Amino acid sequence: MNVNELKERFGISGVVEFGRGEGGLTRMAITTPGGEAEVYRNGAHVTHFKPADGQPCLWVSKSSRFEQGRAIRGGVPVCFPWFGSAGPDPESPFHGFARRMDWDVESTEKTDTGAVVTLILRSDEQTQRLWPGQFELRITVTVATTLTMALEARNIGGEAFTITEALHSYFRVSDVRNVKIAGLENTEYFVTDEHERQGDEPITFSAETDRKYINTTSTCILDDPGMARRITVEKSGSDSTVVWNPWITRAAEMSEFGDDEWPGMLCIETANLPGNAVTIPPGGSHVMEARIAAERTNQ
C-alpha cells in the first residue's frame, strides 16, 4: 500500500498519522495523551518515544541513512530470526533480515489510554532464500505513558524451527560515563566466548562494553542523573539481555554512527540469544515483550 492507501485504511485522525519520514520512508506518527512515538514500515522500526511529561527516550544516529532495505541505526531494530552473526552461513545479514524489510500494517486502534499499531512480516521466497522457516512475525506497539513492544513469532510451516531474537533498544543518555544500570547483579554474561559474572554492583561504563547476559528475566533500571530521569525496561518471554556501548575506537569504525555520538547512547536489548534460543513447533508461537517507562528523579 502507498501512503494514501494506508491513511485511508488505517489512519486515525490526530492519533495515527501516515506520512513520509526521513529518506522518504513510510512512517506512522502516533500521538496520545500519555506519549508520542514514530514507527517506520521499514523494519517495523520504532524510532521515537517520548512520554507527554518527559524527554525523548530513544536515540537515533544523525548519520543513519534511512534507505529502503537498509537497517536504521538507533531506535529499536527487530533482530530476527537470528541475533548477530548466528545466521545459517557466513554471508547471512547481521542480526537477521527482519530489520531490513518492509512490513505490512495489519491494524491500528485508539484505546482509552493510548494507541496500538500492529505490523506483520510473512515468510516468502525472499526470506526462504536466507532461512527456511515458514513464519508470521508480528510486532504490536502500544503507545501511552509507557512504550510496549510485543514481538510474536508464529510457525506456519510443518517443521519446527529455532530462533534467536532481540528488540535492540538504543536509549538516549546524558553521558554514558555517568549512568548506571541496575537489575543484572550476579548474572552470568559473556563477551565473545569468555564467560564472566556480574558483581553485586550496578553496571557502570568506562570502556567499550558488549555484554550478553543469559538466563535472566530481570527488569533493568537505567539511572541517568544528568537527565534527572530513570528508565525502566521490563520484559517477558526473554531470557537474555544485551548491554552495549561502542566507545571511541569502535564508534569510529562503524558506518552510520558519528564518531562523537557514543557518549549519548546506550543499548539495553531485550533478547533470546544462543543459549536461550527458542524452538517453535509447527502451529506454535512465541511472544517476547519489552515495556519501557521513564520517570523524573530529583537528582
Kindly list the catalytic residues. 168, 269
C-alpha cell at 231: 528508565
Element (H, E) at 5: helix 3-10
Residues 232 and 253: their CA atoms lie apart, in Å, by 30
Phi, psi of 66 (to 5 degrees): 50, 65
Q: Which of 134, 127, 226, 119 is nearest to 171 (CA)?
A: 226
Residues 199 and 221: their CA atoms lie apart, in Å, by 16
CA distances from 133 to 95, 106, 128, 204 (A): 16, 21, 7, 39
